[in-house]
Amino acid sequence: MEFKKIDPQHDFDLCLQFRKDAYFCSFQTWAGFTEFVGLDGADYHHKILSRIDDPRWGYFHVHSEGQIIGQIEFKTYSHLEQTGYVHLFYLAPEYRGKGYFKQLNQFVMAQLENANCAVAVLALGRENHAAMGAYQKNGWLMQGAKNERSDYWAYHLNSQCGDV
């Protein structure tokens, strides 16, 4: 498995496709997706382009046997001290439930640790039961509500216990 920086000029359609599937997995609806990414993904495309060369941001495609099978988006900071924020862990449907997530998680945690983060945080839609299972299995802990549809989860890089 390889992690390669996303080429937004070449691979944006795939990025948007992955984001759309991840959105549906999280919320079991398309409602709100256009507002989330902008018309035809324009806002999302702009965000990637403005962040892709910022060393505090990570946008990677996950490659296996010559195929792009997933996508990761994260930043090495948040409003919490020494805390990175994972915006997206994504695997194409045919690669889910086969142990690949562990490698994605290890890659991101290594990047965050190199940036002196002690904790990683993400928001997870309450309808995404498969992701909940993968996160729990890999040491993530639910921290509490973000809003009416999502909860915050945390991963402690040095020890996998405690609250953020």
pLDDT level of residue 161 (50, 70, 90 thresholds): very low
Task: Please state the rounded mean pLDDT for residues 115-121.
Answer: 97
Beta bridge partners of 132: none
Task: Please state the rounded mean pLDDT for residues 51-77.
Answer: 98
**132 phi and psi angles, rounded to 5 deg:** -55, -45
Give all domains of the chain, ordered by start, each with its CATH number.
2-156 (3.40.630.30)
Question: pLDDT above 70 covers what percent of the chain?
Answer: 96
**pLDDT higher than 80, residue 164:** no
Q: What is the pLDDT of residue 127?
A: 87
**pLDDT higher than 50, residue 123:** yes
Decide: 58 and 108 in contact? Cβ < 8 Å.
yes
Q: What is the pLDDT of residue 93?
A: 96
**pLDDT higher than 70, residue 143:** yes
Predicted TM-score (pTM) of this structure: 0.91
Written as six digits, the tokens of 32 are 């709100």
Q: What is the pLDDT of residues 18-60, one digit of tens each?
A: 999 999 998 989 999 999 999 999 999 999 999 999 999 999 9
Terminal alpha carbon distance of the chain: 31
Give the strand pairing for 2-5 and 57-64.
Answer: antiparallel
Q: What is the pLDDT of residue 92?
A: 97
Q: Which residue has the higher pLDDT, 65 or 159?
A: 65
**39 phi and psi angles, rounded to 5 deg:** -60, 125
